[in-house]
Amino acid sequence: MGLINTSCVAECEGQTDALCIVARRTFSSLSPLRYPGGKAKLAGFLSKILDSDGGIRRYVEPYAGGAGAGIALLSSGQVNELHINDLDPAVYSFWKLFKNNVDRLVSFIENVPLDVEQWNYQRTIYREALCPSPELGLAFFYLNRTNRSGILNAGVIGGKKQTGNYKMDARFNRGALVKRVTDLIPHLDQMLVTNKDGRDIISAYGNDESTLLYIDPPYVQAGSRLYLNAFDGYDHMSLANVIHEYPEGRWVITYDNHPLVRDLYRNDYCVPLSITYSAHKKTTAQELLITSRYLADKIAIINKVAGM
């Protein structure tokens, strides 16, 4: 099939030009966080890009969120360094705590009450926080694991009366979460955590041949429903301008399949993206994968070898 288009596709219907990625179970999510639309399942595909270019040893997520793909690649030894960046003070607070005080996080997971009173307490910390702090990081983690779909402004799983089919502990398996955290302890020294504008991170690494930038910005359609630092039209245009300063960089973008995105990246290598766990399962591409010219050639080779 035609994998790489020289202009962003106008429609996803028919899927003739879609890139269908079969997620590998070996790269299942290792992140302690739940994230709507999390990209841990892209790790296998990104690992093929890394394999095709032996010079890339650093992996950077300017809009990290749950950092699922990055955690998987670091844990598997595909990269030597993982740079997690997020401008959201709550996300940053969690990852900073994770790196600098993992024992406190483990103790919190093992001992924090899982009841509505505690949920209200943690939600108050989250809502009233004025700056990054360990307490904000813990509150963010608590709400992420106990809210519906991990969305911070959603309600608690099971409702405040806990009469739903699932209760608030449904996604808070203490043992499994402790294991996810402690399994990553050997890699803490390989992690860098920052709280900067993602565009600044892209500028810092745009020409670095040893760095793979995976850019997963706030989507256009979801807006403030999912993101504290949601983008407006200007932000999306500004991001595109920064990215386009590095046409030969090692960068991959995932975005929602929205007219604004298709227009901003109309001259780039761009395909509809669908992700499935089965090569025989048909899916509809709701997202776009956009790459630099340099990586587009790599992906074309990967695609040819794989016989996609």
Q: HSE on the CB side for 59, CA within 13 Å?
A: 27
**Structure confidence at residue 229 (pLDDT):** 66
The domain locations on the chain are 1-87+196-308, 104-186
**Structure confidence at residue 14 (pLDDT):** 39
Which residues lie below 8 Å from residue 281, measured CB to CB, with a gap of 6+?
none
What CATH number belongs to 1-87+196-308?
A: 3.40.50.150
CA separation for the pair 272, 20 (Å, rounded):
8
pLDDT: which is higher, 186 or 15:
186
Cβ atoms of 31 and 40 within 8 Å: the answer is yes
Instruction: Supply the DSSP string of 255-303, one letter for each residue.
Output: EE--HHHHHHTTTSEEEEEEEES-TT------EEEEE-HHHHHHHHHHH
| CA quadruple 25, 26, 31, 37: dihedral sign | negative
| Amino acid at site 170 | A
Distances (CA, A) of 12 to 18, 66, 274, 283: 7, 27, 10, 11
Q: Which of 288, 284, 256, 259 is nearest to 272 (CA)?
A: 288
CA separation for the pair 34, 136 (Å, rounded):
17
Residue 13 has pLDDT above 80, yes or no: no
Confidence tier at 133 by pLDDT (50, 70, 90): very high
Distances (CA, A) of 56 to 7, 209, 303: 27, 7, 19
Residue 21 has pLDDT above 70, yes or no: no
The overall average pLDDT reported for the chain is 86
- Which tokens go with 4? 């790489």
Confidence tier at 172 by pLDDT (50, 70, 90): very high
**Structure confidence at residue 28 (pLDDT):** 64
pLDDT: which is higher, 63 or 226:
63
Return the percentage of the chain with pLDDT > 90, whole number: 65
Cβ atoms of 259 and 213 within 8 Å: the answer is no
pLDDT in tens, 99-131: 999 999 999 999 999 999 999 999 999 999 999
Confidence tier at 302 by pLDDT (50, 70, 90): low
Average pLDDT over residues 148-155: 87
**Structure confidence at residue 279 (pLDDT):** 45
User: For residue 252, what are the β-bridge partners?
Assistant: 214, 291
Average pLDDT over residues 291-305: 76
CA separation for the pair 144, 67 (Å, rounded):
14
**Structure confidence at residue 271 (pLDDT):** 85
pLDDT in tens, 23-73: 555 566 789 999 876 678 889 889 999 998 889 999 999 999 999 999 999
Strand ordering across the sheet containing 211-215: 19-22, 269-276, 287-291, 251-256, 211-215, 58-61, 81-85, 191-194
